[in-house]
Amino acid sequence: MTIFIQTFVSGILIGGIYALIGIGMTLIMGVMGIINLAHGQLMMVAMYITFVLFHFLHLDPYISLLVTMPALFLLGMFLQKFLLNPLMKVDSILPENQVLMTVGIGMVLAEIARFIFSSDYKTVKTAYSSSAFFIGNISFSLPMSVAFFFAVAFTGALFWFLIKTDTGRAIRATAQDKDAATLMGINSNRITIITFGLGSSLVAAAGTLLIPIFYLFPDIGGPFTLKAFVITILGGMGSTVGAIVGGVVLGVAESLGATYVGMGYREMIGFVIFILVLVFLPGGLKRLTRI
């Protein structure tokens, strides 16, 4: 029983981070109608920034959040403005151009990282990297718990932003109906750029929070892109609440799978969920909650 609870707890903790990654993707998905397949690679960029800051300036990863989030916000805005938005004007037979473009962006980011840092595994070893505290018999990894609380805080802040501010309302309006939003005087081009920046900075936060626990290499982005994608499908396209639930469900399912099925299949659990959702619950959790 202890093992079960322990697995469950670590699943929820990692699920919080997954939710942060998933929310970024689902925001972009909602406004632009495409899945950003460079999402994990953007996270990788943030992780390398954190690594460099730690290595050369000895900056604590949690402080470097102040650098990575704005940096990735700018990078995301740049990508959207100069690479993705111009594609709307190119007419071609296939509408999936933007998705393919994000794949290209992801590849370029990963290869640039490989070019600069080589394929070696890097780690950021902080004093608290492997420390843990206990509640009863259950151990809580300290960096995971901190990351979880940061993730909850960022999610709360995002909700406040989306519900209370004008820009947030404009984002939600664009996600609901782009044409109607444009008719109401919202500059939807600008909104897509802001949204992409916002999604990128959320995933940057996730990357920076993960770095005390994970090792880092240029290809780390791919699996996280796919996780974010599974979360988005599971939660329902464009649903932020769904992304949170989806992230936690994926985290728990992965830990349970790793404990009871086998470590090698950990990555596959997400895809099994993915197929089950597609077959039995197309539309994801959004269909159940209607949010």
| Site mask for other proteins (CB under 8 A), range 81-120, x = bound | --x--xx--xxxxxxxx-xxx-xxxxxx-xxx-xx-----
Closer residue to other proteins in complex, CB, 114/178: 114
Shortest separation between residue 175's beta carbon and other proteins, angstroms: 15
Instruction: Decide: is 274 part of the binding site for other proteins (CB under 8 A).
Output: yes
What's 220's DSSP letter? Answer: G
Shortest separation between residue 65's beta carbon and other proteins, angstroms: 28
C-alpha 239/C-alpha 66 separation (Å) is 27
Instruction: Decide: is 281 part of the binding site for other proteins (CB under 8 A).
Output: no
Three-class HEC string of 251-277:
HHHHHHHHHHCCHHHHHHHHHHHHHHH
Shortest separation between residue 191's beta carbon and other proteins, angstroms: 19
DSSP 3-state of 196: helix
| Site mask for other proteins (CB under 8 A), range 207-246, x = bound | ---------------x---x--xx--x---x---------
Closer residue to other proteins in complex, CB, 149/219: 219
Shortest separation between residue 267's beta carbon and other proteins, angstroms: 6
- Other CB atoms within a 10 A radius of the CB of residue 124 amount to 21
Shortest separation between residue 154's beta carbon and other proteins, angstroms: 25
Q: Is the dihedral of CA 73, 74, 75, 80 positive or negative?
A: positive
Q: Which of 124, 112, 138 is nearest to 38 (CA)?
A: 112
The region of 30-38, 42-50, 52-60, 68-76 touching other proteins under the rule CB under 8 A is 30-38
C-alpha 19/C-alpha 152 separation (Å) is 9
Kindly tell me which residue out of 59, 85, 145, 267 binds other proteins, with binding defined by CB under 8 A.
Answer: 267
Q: Which of 180, 11, 36, 48 is nearest to 101 (CA)?
A: 36
